[in-house]
């Protein structure tokens, strides 16, 4: 197994390079700066735990891996937020730039929370990667550690199942 | 104008984390696409906002990692429940082996009489080997293969100083912990607390064949590594059977020697401070 020292060094290196990007990604998904900061912290702690438990080589694709971790952490936070009912989702963010479809973002967060009841985590992760992060099928496959064919099939299945709702509501965020 | 890029790709461009063709394509697109350009500005603004408190974030992360380490240390017995069965069995087998060696002494490739090997009660050494997916504990005399990775766990009764090195059948010493040559770093590894210490960074087996030994020397007071290494070297070449027992006593420390055999690749040996 990878040593504690090596894992720490690697996480600190990842944090230095990608923490800002993870913050942007988490802020985009959660719409709240404080929650996004917490999420980023969770991302790197999770990464540290995973590195400690694995002896995978250190030259793996780091950014897709961190995106995958961040997606699942944000989904978890959205679910917790909804369960506790502590924060109205559509009043989440007041600080983001108004230039990029701010209304749609609030709407997509609501929709995402709704979809959590009917979709499994992996399907949600694929939806987020495709519609929110704007990843290509190859990038989604790399990020989620599945084949590109599996991504294509899963997206087609989701389109069939959810009809036009996905395209119309998530397609323009 | 080319098709717009997703936020993931644009973030990759901001981070300079794309292949050269993609970097060029995104750069060209941004020159003519106001929409993507604004998204890039937003990504940059968010990244800068986070990086304003980068030191605080890093410090919080380091604290959190320490908490994880403590948690994991607390869970160690549960995770290694298999060891709870195997360690007593291995210890008993080792004790029997030591007794047998004492009854039937034999000269080894290392020039160490078998009954000169000491297993001092005051410090402990556990060596875990990883071969592919398989993990196993290394016993004295075990055969190891090239590529095997060893984790060394040393248990000490007090705070103190440690040096770990390997010794090959030609009498050559290779520093492992600290990893640098004793002439450039004469100080041994300082252990500030007693107990179980997993030495950082696994040791990987090379394909040089022959018998080798891991040697661990621990003392409460600091010592000069080079001098200890030289003393061990002289002990190895000595024909005096009691040298191995005298050496740790005269240095006020404890010594453990764990021997193993390596694969039989015909590669040439080399000198200097190499990993085993």
Which pLDDT does position B234 carry in this prediction?
A: 75
Q: Work out the average pLDDT over A4-8.
A: 84
Among A3, A41, A129, beta carbon nearest to B64: A41
CB contact under 8 A, A12 and B7: no
pLDDT higher than 70, residue B78: no
Which candidate, A2, A140, A165, places its Cα nearest to that of A67?
A: A140
Distance from CA of B249 to the nearest CA of A (A): 32
Please write the tens of the pLDDT for every residue from A57-105: 555 678 999 999 999 999 888 888 877 765 544 433 444 443 345 556 6
- Name B208's Cβ contacts closer than 8 Å, sequence gap at least 6: B168, B262, B265, B267, B268, B269, B270
Collapsing DSSP to helix, strand or coil, B43 comes out as helix
Residue A37 near chain B (CB below 8 Å): yes
CB contact under 8 A, A19 and B201: no
Q: Mean pLDDT across chain A, nearest whole number?
A: 78
Task: Give chain A's end-to-end CA distance (angstroms, integer).
Answer: 42
pLDDT-derived band at B111 (thresholds 50, 70, 90) equals very low
- Which comes out higher in pLDDT, residue B118 or B213? B213
Task: For strands B149-156 and B203-204, give the pairing.
Answer: antiparallel
pLDDT higher than 90, residue B258: no
Q: Mean pLDDT across chain B, nearest whole number?
A: 76
Runs of H (alpha helix) within chain B: 7-14, 20-32, 34-51, 54-79, 81-103, 225-237, 243-250
Torsions phi, psi for B6 (to 5 deg): -75, 165
Which pLDDT does position B102 carry in this prediction?
A: 58
pLDDT-derived band at B274 (thresholds 50, 70, 90) equals very low
pLDDT higher than 50, residue B130: yes
Which pLDDT does position B24 carry in this prediction?
A: 95
User: By the 8 A CB rule, do A30 and A36 touch?
Assistant: yes
pLDDT higher than 80, residue A44: yes
Hey, how many other C-beta atoms are within 10 angstroms of the C-beta on B207?
13
- Rounded Cα gap, residues B164 and A11, in angstroms: 27
Runs of H (alpha helix) within B80-187: 81-103
pLDDT higher than 70, residue B77: no
- Rounded Cα gap, residues B50 and A21, in angstroms: 9
Which candidate, B197, B195, B191, B201, places its Cα nearest to that of B150?
A: B201
Which candidate, B200, B170, B202, places its Cα nearest to that of B269?
A: B170
ipTM of the complex: 0.83
User: By the 8 A CB rule, do B29 and B37 touch?
Assistant: no
Q: Work out the average pLDDT over A11-38.
A: 92
Residue B39 near chain A (CB below 8 Å): yes
pLDDT higher than 80, residue A148: yes
A79: left (phi over 0), alpha (psi -120 to 50) or beta: alpha
Q: Longest C-alpha distance within chain B, in Å?
A: 86
- The helix (H) or strand (E) run that includes residue B204 is strand B203-204
User: By the 8 A CB rule, do B68 and A45 touch?
Assistant: yes
- Which comes out higher in pLDDT, residue A109 or A30? A30
Collapsing DSSP to helix, strand or coil, B139 comes out as coil
pLDDT higher than 80, residue A13: yes
Among A41, A133, A134, beta carbon nearest to B61: A41
β-strand partners of B126: B153
Percent of chain A with pLDDT over 70: 73
- Name B236's Cβ contacts closer than 8 Å, sequence gap at least 6: B110, B111, B112, B167, B171
- Name B95's Cβ contacts closer than 8 Å, sequence gap at least 6: none
Which pLDDT does position A69 carry in this prediction?
A: 93
User: By the 8 A CB rule, do A23 and B46 touch?
Assistant: yes
Which pLDDT does position B117 carry in this prediction?
A: 36
Which pLDDT does position B44 carry in this prediction?
A: 95
| Residues 106-125, chain A, touching B (beta carbon < 8 A) | none
Percent of chain B with pLDDT over 70: 78
Residue A129 near chain B (CB below 8 Å): yes
pLDDT higher than 50, residue B5: yes
Q: Which pair of tokens denotes residue A20?
A: 């800002």
Which pLDDT does position B198 carry in this prediction?
A: 84
Among B42, B64, B68, beta carbon nearest to A100: B42
Percent of chain B with pLDDT over 90: 19
DSSP conformational letter for A129: I
Q: How far is CA B38 from CA A135, B20, B24, B32, B204, in A?
A: 18, 22, 18, 12, 50
Q: Work out the average pLDDT over B78-82.
A: 56
- Rounded Cα gap, residues B268 and B276, in angstroms: 13
- Rounded Cα gap, residues B46 and A33, in angstroms: 10
Q: Work out the average pLDDT over B256-262.
A: 80
pLDDT higher than 60, residue B51: yes
pTM (two decimals): 0.53
CB contact under 8 A, B43 and A24: yes
Residues of A in contact with B45 (CB under 8 A): 97
Task: For strands B149-156 and B173-177, give the pairing.
Answer: unpaired
Collapsing DSSP to helix, strand or coil, A52 comes out as helix
- Which comes out higher in pLDDT, residue B79 or B74? B74
User: By the 8 A CB rule, do B165 and B203 touch?
Assistant: no
Which pLDDT does position B126 carry in this prediction?
A: 82
Residue of B nearest to A37 (CA): B50
């Amino acid at each position: 197994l990878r040593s504690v020292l090596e894992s720490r060094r690697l996480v600190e290196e990842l944090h230095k390079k990608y923490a800002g990007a993870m913050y942007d990604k988490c802020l985009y998904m959660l719409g709240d700066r404080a929650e996004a900061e917490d999420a980023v912290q969770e991302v790197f702690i999770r990464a540290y735990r995973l590195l400690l438990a694995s002896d995978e080589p250190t030259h793996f694709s780091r950014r897709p891996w961190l995106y995958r971790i961040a997606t699942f952490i944000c989904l978890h936070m959205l679910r917790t937020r909804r369960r506790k009912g502590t924060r109205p989702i559509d009043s989440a963010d007041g600080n983001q730039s108004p230039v990029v479809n701010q209304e749609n973002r609030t709407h997509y967060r609501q929709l995402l929370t709704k979809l959590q009841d009917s979709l499994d985590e992996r399907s949600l992760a694929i939806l987020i990667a495709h519609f929110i992060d704007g990843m290509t099928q190859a990038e989604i496959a790399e990020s989620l550690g599945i084949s590109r064919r599996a991504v294509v099939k899963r997206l087609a299945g989701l389109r069939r199942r959810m009809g036009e709702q996905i395209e119309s509501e998530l397609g323009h965020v | 104008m080319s098709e717009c890029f997703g936020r993931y790709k644009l973030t990759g461009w901001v981070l300079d984390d794309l292949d050269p063709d993609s970097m060029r394509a995104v750069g060209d697109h941004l020159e003519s696409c106001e929409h993507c350009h604004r998204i890039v500005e937003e990504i940059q603004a968010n990244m800068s906002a986070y990086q304003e408190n980068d030191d605080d974030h890093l410090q919080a992360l380091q604290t959190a990692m320490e908490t994880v380490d403590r948690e994991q240390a607390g869970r160690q017995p549960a995770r290694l429940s298999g060891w709870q069965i195997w360690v007593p069995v291995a210890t008993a087998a080792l004790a029997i082996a030591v007794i047998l060696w004492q009854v039937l002494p034999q000269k080894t490739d290392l020039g160490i009489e078998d009954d000169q090997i000491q297993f001092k009660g005051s410090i402990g050494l556990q060596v875990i080997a990883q071969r592919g997916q398989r993990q196993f504990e290394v016993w004295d005399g075990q055969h190891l293969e090239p590529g095997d990775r060893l984790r060394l766990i040393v248990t000490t009764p007090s705070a103190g100083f440690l040096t770990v090195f390997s010794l090959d059948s030609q009498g050559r010493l290779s520093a492992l912990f600290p990893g640098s040559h004793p002439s450039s770093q004469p100080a041994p590894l300082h252990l500030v607390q007693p107990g179980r210490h997993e030495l950082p960074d696994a040791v990987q087996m090379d394909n040089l064949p022959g018998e080798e030994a891991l040697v661990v020397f621990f003392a409460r007071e600091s010592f000069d590594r080079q001098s200890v290494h030289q003393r061990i070297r002289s002990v190895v070449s000595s024909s005096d059977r009691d040298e191995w027992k005298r050496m740790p006593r005269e240095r006020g420390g404890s010594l453990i020697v764990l021997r193993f055999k390596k694969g039989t690749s015909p590669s040439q040996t080399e000198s200097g401070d190499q990993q085993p």
